[in-house]
């Protein structure tokens, strides 16, 4: 992403919105409605899963870069770069990315669900906001990577609707 916006916030926001659609769509569509308590619980799930998955993904990728660098530099033993200053640096970067993604995921899940809870009996607004937010995210990504904005927006919104349909069918909450 262009500018200072951390790269890990983008998948974090998307993850939060998808969690909201998956876990809360059945409550909205099958009549039990949204509450602030449900919104907070879903957001907490999004935060916790994001912390783990993003850290593992980032740290694994950065450690793989170090391992590749060791091969290119003809180090006689593996793990030397990871054992030193660079190892601590990549662990720190992975932790920061994980923290940013988890906060973004929490916000991405909480905001639409909180709006849905506040606008009861029109809780379906949470789904509309979530799908719309995915579309907006798709537009922003298209701008950042030089893609076709309309195609990205439509694709993200279609995926959002599909995720909501899956969540409704699973009827988790």
Q: Give the interface with other proteins as residue ranges (CB under 8 A).
A: 65-66, 68-69, 72-75, 80-81, 84-86, 89
For residue 87, the minimal CB distance to other proteins (Å) is 9
**CB of 70 or CB of 159, closer to other proteins:** 70
For residue 92, the minimal CB distance to other proteins (Å) is 12
For residue 68, the minimal CB distance to other proteins (Å) is 7
**CB of 85 or CB of 121, closer to other proteins:** 85
**CB of 93 or CB of 147, closer to other proteins:** 93
**CB of 83 or CB of 120, closer to other proteins:** 83
SS3 for the chain is: CCCCCCCCHHHHHHHHHHHHHHHHHHHHHCCCCCCHHHHHHHHHHHHHHHHHHHHHHHHHHHHHHHHHHHHHCCCCCCCHHHHCHHHHHHHHHHHHHHHHHHHHHHHHHHHHHHHHHHCCCCCCHHHHHHHHHHHHHHHHHHHHHCCCHHHHHHHHHHHHHHHHHHHHHHCCC
For residue 84, the minimal CB distance to other proteins (Å) is 5
Q: How many CB atoms lie within 10 A of CB 17?
A: 29
For residue 110, the minimal CB distance to other proteins (Å) is 35
**CB of 89 or CB of 148, closer to other proteins:** 89
Reading the block at residue 132, the tokens are 């719309």
């Amino acid at each position: 992403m262009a500018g200072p916006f951390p790269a890990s916030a983008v998948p974090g926001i998307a993850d939060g919105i998808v969690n909201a659609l998956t876990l809360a769509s059945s409550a909205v569509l099958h009549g039990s409605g949204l509450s602030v308590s449900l919104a907070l619980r879903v957001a907490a799930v999004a935060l916790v899963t994001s912390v783990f998955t993003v850290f593992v993904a980032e740290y694994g990728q950065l450690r793989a870069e170090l391992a590749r660098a060791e091969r290119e530099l003809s180090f006689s033993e593996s793990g030397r770069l990871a054992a030193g200053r660079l190892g601590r640096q990549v662990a720190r970067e992975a932790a920061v990315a994980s923290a940013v993604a988890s906060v973004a995921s929490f916000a991405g899940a909480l905001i639409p669900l909180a709006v849905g809870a506040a606008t009861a009996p029109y809780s379906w607004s949470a789904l509309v906001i979530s799908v719309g937010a995915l579309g907006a995210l798709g537009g922003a990504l298209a701008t950042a990577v030089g893609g076709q904005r309309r195609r990205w927006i439509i694709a993200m919104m279609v995926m959002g609707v599909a995720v909501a349909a899956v969540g409704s069918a699973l009827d988790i909450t």
